[in-house]
Homo-oligomer: A and B are copies of this chain.
Amino acid sequence: MKTELPDHVRTLGEIVTEEIRRKLVDGELVPGQRLSEAALAESLKISRNTLREAFRVLTQEGLLKHEPNRGVFVSVPDMGSIIDIYRVRRFIECQALAQAYPRHPGTRRMREAVETAQRAREVEDWVSVGTANMAFHSAIVELADSPRLSTFYAHISAELRLAFGVLKDPEFLHAPYIDMNASIVHHLEEGRTDEATVALETYLVQSERTVLAAYGRRGG
């Protein structure tokens, strides 16, 4: 008897899409940078056509910007984008949390993300702190039990990492919020969804202010 679960065959185009996406959120490719078809195709050892298919997907996700006849560029998240992203985050995360029931499996994932972040903080591994922090908020969105909402949030989230990348200070951006997250999940576990929601909103407002301020100091 064979285990029949390959279901997700990975085509070269998809693999390459993931690879470029990773380079984008990891900061190997920086906002504003132009991605030459010929150069990138050679570097990834794929053909231009396959690369172009990947470009279309990532453009649709908001990570790349396509300017016809000029090329594709890594999206530059300006202040308008950041404001919009945080507006969406408050819009989605707060409501997902507000109408969650405390026994939802997502709660466990929130708890785990907080603990992971705390362990990473002890070793001062701020990149891992950031990753765990993102996982925490993804878990919040999953409380809504909507695949489409979760996918959408994943895109928003990746776009925000692009913005964080240019700031290059994960400690500053994530460390202060670990305890707030702990408090949020604690409220939720105890059934105090109202207080959890208020705490989350406070978090998001404060985080937005921090990011915008840092952004204002830098590129404008």
Q: Which residues of A contact B (CB under 8 A)?
A: 9-11, 13-14, 49, 52-53, 56-57, 60-62, 68-69, 84-85, 87-88, 91-92, 95, 144-149, 152, 156
> Which 9 A-B pairs rank lowest in CB-CB distance, beginning with the nearest?
A9-B68, A60-B60, A56-B56, A11-B68, A53-B56, A49-B49, A87-B146, A152-B152, A56-B57
Judging by beta carbons under 8 Å apart, are A146 and B84 in contact?
yes
Nearest residue (CB) in B for A9 is: B68
Q: For residue A92, which residues in chain B have a CB less than 8 angstroms away from its CB?
A: 91
Give Cα A149 to B61, complex, Å: 13
Judging by beta carbons under 8 Å apart, are B53 and A91 in contact?
no
Q: For residue A14, which residues in chain B have a CB less than 8 angstroms away from its CB?
A: 68
Nearest residue (CB) in B for A94 is: B95
CB distance from A144 to the nearest CB of B (A): 7
Contacts A53-B56, A61-B60 given; does A91 touch B152 at CB 8 Å: no
Judging by beta carbons under 8 Å apart, are A87 and B145 in contact?
yes
Nearest residue (CB) in B for A60 is: B60
Give Cα A60 to B14, complex, Å: 12
Nearest residue (CB) in B for A152 is: B152
Judging by beta carbons under 8 Å apart, are B146 and A88 in contact?
yes
Give Cα A92 to B95, complex, Å: 9
Nearest residue (CB) in B for A149 is: B88
A-B contact pairs, 30 of them (CB 8 A): A9-B68, A9-B69, A10-B68, A11-B68, A11-B69, A13-B56, A14-B68, A49-B49, A49-B52, A52-B53, A53-B53, A53-B56, A56-B56, A56-B57, A56-B60, A57-B57, A60-B60, A60-B61, A62-B148, A84-B146, A84-B147, A84-B148, A87-B144, A87-B145, A87-B146, A87-B149, A88-B146, A91-B92, A91-B146, A95-B95
Known: A57-B57, A95-B95. 7 other contacts (CB 8 A): A10-B68, A14-B68, A52-B53, A56-B60, A84-B146, A91-B92, A91-B149
